[in-house]
Chain A
């Protein structure tokens, strides 16, 4: 690793997608696939060759990697050797920041002490564990193949190995009362973690839950209920010393997820692996969007014949960049720094928003608009989508 941080170097993040899971959760619309016989050995060389090809697509101004994220699917199913090989390949092509954060998502039932140590030795320094619920009944409802105890055990091991640990929980489950959630979250916050993601259960098209909800196999809590749970989450996490820095993310001081912040701050990143998306830096200071083939087999074939699995590569116009930066940036509690916005998108902030709407929503206490920043108020945060549809100027 290089020693000094060069302020002139543009920072970039790397997302690595591992598309396999042991089973498919009924709510999940992520690019995850269950395969019993798959030639995993071919996968590692494919990742390496895709990294190589992408490196050649990026113009040659010096870059420095600020974060790497192994997401999924279930990346904890990867052999630690794969993880190590990928990290060392990345290091061969780019400088590593000395504050480099390397995260990996783990499922509680696919890890053990040996594996966690293997990941650590490969360079992983942050572990995010998919706990989802802290009672077995709900875990079963969510189709998870682990128990609550297994989660706690996995977390215990992880916390001894990794300095940074995080868990994911899903709330707003059918039949979950606000007090259930209050208790559950309170006990979660006592676990050995310094970061937590709280996702409201979302019924996505194409999932098992979508059909089940439509067929009234269960009833989702209504919006008021969900909003109350959201408010409770914000209060309880704060009392426990976590800061809500993004709609669904909470961290103890200095433990925000550096990688995910790249997205929300609209910084460039490279996506590697089946279904991964990227926003690579373009010569003109803009962004090139990439999307890889989603199906592992298709991706693998593409990489074998082309060196990469890109399904779509397109320039993102200045207006599109501005809209994307608004969609992502306003998720942050901090809001959008207008100067950063302008350097990142090449668009004047005031051109990207509708001034009269900003004023109107500010009067109604949904947003705060200052010289430097635009951010949502507590009142406005749960209504981001509607607010965006009012203030975004470009269509």
Chain B
């Protein structure tokens, strides 16, 4: 048992790429958690995908030993967190396990949208916040100016901010001293019954289901019978351990400490994040408040390119969910794309990451339909339904009202690009809430329909601001809106996979663009192909792919036939990957490109 006064639990929060993971590396190194041979950059980003994209997706914890200038050896529990808005829930629960935060700000860039968002989360968790200005090794670093920004924009005192380079290690010792001197030790009572917060859980192929815990009161030991307070389920603790970041078994974890246990738990779903774990024999009276459950906000259909892979896709989705309970899926069948799954995600990056993990870790080839949000419909019968899939939209005559989700978006952008950013927000049906200037940068707050954001907002924002705008949002509310379902028909048959819900004012232009796009993507065939966009029964855009006239090979003699046969065989195999809509064959690539429309 470690004395509470010798423990410090802290998170590192920052905007994406401001250097959290690199600072974690330095802290681990200085404290000797890993020797030079074992060290590599962003060592805590263990997933291939994290390493490749250079971003943190899963929060990670490490216990460090630090001998401070006062001669005392402290236990530091570091929780590295992801910076991206889609993973904000990972940030909040990590914060709940700690008493303080290092707020890392890139001294060359300054305060960005997620700096703000994550700082507010830390303030909400009653954290003591230590501002850290990073990357001062770079010539473009302006620590003084950025300090003023922190004062003005975030409103926290930056006078004793620490300036460091996580890359070179300069200033890192001051960070360690500040952690010890400026952060409060955890509170808690070793003598009370066990009360522990379930911070995270995941499936590890060696250890099985692993639970990350923050002990609030009491002690957890190997062999103890524990109870999950929300479900009442009981388990026997098999292993108790910590990450240094190497996995090390210990006998017990006690009040104030962070570590993991395993307890032959089969299902991650039995490990609800935020749940309270207690000693079955000697339970605590009251549970911790817990977290708000995460709700998927963006949905799309995922279909295997090869229909024979459907079962494998199901298994892979279940396997992935073991480590990421924040996405949901259910079986879906589409006349155009066959059997697949409707999946819900925390945001577009989350969607992209899950899709990429499926393709990479499970070697699946996927077709993804356009992302959509959840609409709330009230039918004329008075019945209320939630719509996750545009294809399921009831006939307009049966609908009384439609509501769509709105977000409150915060965008920070250099004022050179403010104009285009404002017109983009207006074009996306946004309402301005606030506009403030900080030096040569502007902070704009807009209410925007999420529907427009998932359509192409990110890419457009990136291009109009040349990548200089940062963006963060939270779901605000649902509002009534004049939305219609835009159907794409090919030779009169509606293609469910291309259906989308759009604001009436945009239906025509979107419809026209999609028809034109498809015209360029569908190769000419024996029959004329009509491509139409329609709202209900009304056609609002139309294109035609004319029929082929002549394709016969002029000359075909002895030698040509092998070549011709191989070509035909290849063509036949390619057809398997075509999607048949009525009598029209649409190459899968055409579908993919049409669905990706928002990307170009």
Contact = CB atoms under 8 A, between A and B. Distances in A.
A385 interface: yes
Contacts of A247: 552-554, 556
Given A364-B526, A382-B549, A392-B568, A277 B556 contact: no
Contact of B558 (A200, A277, A360, A382): A277
Interface in B549-587: 549-559, 561-562, 564-565, 568-569, 571-573, 575, 583
A200 B554 contact: yes
B527 interface: yes
A383 B558 contact: no
Interface string A270-284: 010001111100000
B92 interface: no
B516 interface: no
Contacts of A392: 568, 572
A186 interface: no
Contacts of A395: 569, 572-573
A275 B551 contact: no
Interface stretch (A81-89, A121-129, A321-329, A342-350): A321-329
B573 A383 contact: no
B525 interface: yes
A386 B558 contact: no
A388 B562 contact: no
Interface in A312-338: 320, 323-324, 327-328, 331
A15 B558 contact: yes
B1 interface: no
B526 A366 contact: yes
Contacts of B561: 263, 277, 324, 327-328
A146 interface: no
B556 A276 contact: no
A384 B572 contact: no
A305 interface: no
A389 interface: yes
A388 B561 CA distance: 13
A279 to B, nearest CB: 7
Given A271-B558, A277-B558, A328-B556, A390 B526 contact: yes
Nearest to A200: B554
Contact of B554 (A202, A223, A271, A320): A202
A152 B204 CA distance: 85
Contact of B551 (A291, A328, A364, A382): A382
Q: What is the size category of the interface that chain A forms with chain B? A: 35 or more
A264 B287 CA distance: 84
B552 A385 contact: yes
B550 to A, nearest CB: 4
Nearest to A198: B554
A384 B554 contact: no
Contacts of A223: 548-550
Nearest to A202: B554
A260 B559 CA distance: 12
A289 B564 CA distance: 14
B554 A199 contact: yes
B554 to A, nearest CB: 4
A24 interface: no
Contact of A389 (B558, B559, B572): B572
Interface stretch (A41-49, A211-219, A224-232, A234-242): A224-232
B583 A360 contact: yes
A185 B403 CA distance: 70
A323 B555 contact: no
A227 B558 contact: no
Nearest to B553: A385
B552 A327 contact: no
A288 interface: no
Nearest to A292: B559
Contacts of B548: 223, 383, 386
Nearest to A319: B569
A197 to B, nearest CB: 8
Given A223-B550, A227-B550, A327-B568, A386 B526 contact: yes
B551 A384 contact: yes
Given A227-B549, A386-B548, A395-B573, A277 B559 contact: yes
Contacts of A382: 549-552
| B525, B559, B573 interface centre (most CB from chain A within 10 Å) | B559
A387 interface: yes
| B525, B554, B562 interface centre (most CB from chain A within 10 Å) | B554
Given A223-B550, A247-B552, A386 B559 contact: no
Given A230-B550, A289-B562, A387-B526, A331 B572 contact: no
| B550, B559, B571 interface centre (most CB from chain A within 10 Å) | B550
Interface string A158-175: 000000000000000000
A383 B583 contact: no
| A320, A383, A392 interface centre (most CB from chain B within 10 Å) | A383
A389 B550 contact: no
Nearest to A229: B550
Contacts of A320: 565
10 contacts: A201-B554, A230-B550, A263-B558, A275-B559, A276-B558, A383-B548, A384-B553, A389-B571, A389-B572, A395-B573
- Per CB-CB distance, the 7 closest pairs between chain A and chain B, nearest first, are A395-B572, A382-B550, A277-B559, A384-B552, A227-B550, A227-B549, A385-B551
Interface of B: 525-527, 548-559, 561-562, 564-565, 568-569, 571-573, 575, 583
Interface of A: 15, 199-202, 223-224, 226-227, 230, 247-248, 260, 263, 269, 271, 275-279, 289, 291, 320, 323-324, 327-328, 331, 360-361, 364, 366, 381-390, 392, 394-395
Given A223-B550, A276-B558, A390-B526, 16 more contacts: A199-B555, A201-B554, A202-B553, A202-B554, A226-B550, A248-B555, A263-B561, A279-B558, A291-B559, A323-B569, A331-B552, A364-B526, A383-B526, A383-B548, A383-B549, A388-B568
